[in-house]
Amino acid sequence: MKLRMLLVATSMCAAMSVNAHTICTIVADANSGKTLLEQGDCAKRVTPASTFKIAISLMGYDSGILKDAHNPTFEYRQGDPDWLGAIWKQPTDPTRWIKYSVVWFSQRVTTSLGMTRFADYAKQFAFGNANVSGDSRHPDGLTHAWIDSSLEISPREQVSFLTKLVNRKLPVTDHAFAMTEQITEVTQLPDGWDIHGKTGAGFPANADGSDDRAHGWGWFVGWARREDKTLVFARLIQDDGVAGKGPAGLRARDAFLGEFPGLTTKLVGSNRG
C-alpha cells in the first residue's frame, strides 16, 4: 500500500508541470539545521491549508483531546464540511483524519481547545505569522484560520517548524511528538527513507471574495528519515490558470516523491549511515 503511490509518481511529475509551476522546493538537514536545497521563492507566505493538521495533531495530543492513533472517534454532523462527499461523512479517528484530511475533525480539536489556548499554541510553535484571528471571508478563526484565511506560512517557515518538531524542540509532550509521527507516515521508499508529512490545498481570493480555483496552491511538507539522517522539506506549487487534475496538494506530493531519490543522492549521497 505504501509503495503504490510511488509507482505513479514519475508520470504525475510530468502531468503536474503542464498545469502548475513550482513556487518553492526547500530541503534542510534536521540535525545540523543546514539548508541543503532552496529553489524558487521560499519566503512567500500563503495559507497552510491542511498542512496545519500536523500542528493541530501536536496540540490535540498535548492537550489530551486526542488519545492515540484510533481514539477518540468523532461522528460527522449535519452541516460539517463535506467537500469530499461520503469519505468525510464517516466516523473518523486520528489516523483516518490525517489519511483523508477531514476538515471537520480538525475543527473539533480546535473548538475543544478554545481560542485562547489555540492562539497560544500557534504563537509558541512560531507557525508562520501565527495569526489565527480569521478574516472577512472566514471571521471564525478558531475553525477556519488555516483555510484561506488569516494564518499564513512560507516554505522556509514550514521547514523551521518541522525541524523543531523532529528535534522535539516544541513545547508539547513526548506522547504528542510520537503520535504525530505515527499518524503522518506517508510511505517507505525502497532505498530506506521513511517519509512523513502532509499535503494541503488552498486558493487565493478573487476580487469578489470567492476562491480563485484556477490558481490554487498545493503543499507537501514533512520529513524523511534513514538511519541517522533526517531531512525536512517543503514543496509549494500553484496552478497556472486552469485547475489541474486532482487536488494540488496530491500533485505536489507525487511530484516531490518522484524526484526524492534523485534529490537525496545529490544532497546526501547514496551510502547508508
| Rounded-to-integer distance, Cα 253 and Cα 198, Å | 8
Q: Is 150 a catalytic residue?
A: no
Give the separation between CA 16 and CA 14, rounded to whole angstroms: 5
Question: Exposure string (b/e) for 191-206, b if CB count within 10 Å is 16 or more?
Answer: eebbbbbbbbbbbeee
Beta strands at 20-29 and 229-239: parallel, antiparallel or unpaired: antiparallel
Q: Give backbone dihedrals phi and psi of 231, rounded to 5 degrees, phi first.
A: -110, 140
67 Cβ neighbours under 8 A, 6+ residues apart:
61
Selection from 20, 3, 23 nearest residue 12 by Cα: 20
Pair 153, 49: CB distance under 8 Å = no
Catalytic residue among 11, 32, 50, 63: 50
Element (H, E) at 177: helix 174-183
Q: Letter for the amino acid at 229?
A: K
Q: What are phi and psi of 151, to 5 degrees?
A: -80, 125
Which amino acids are annotated catalytic? 50
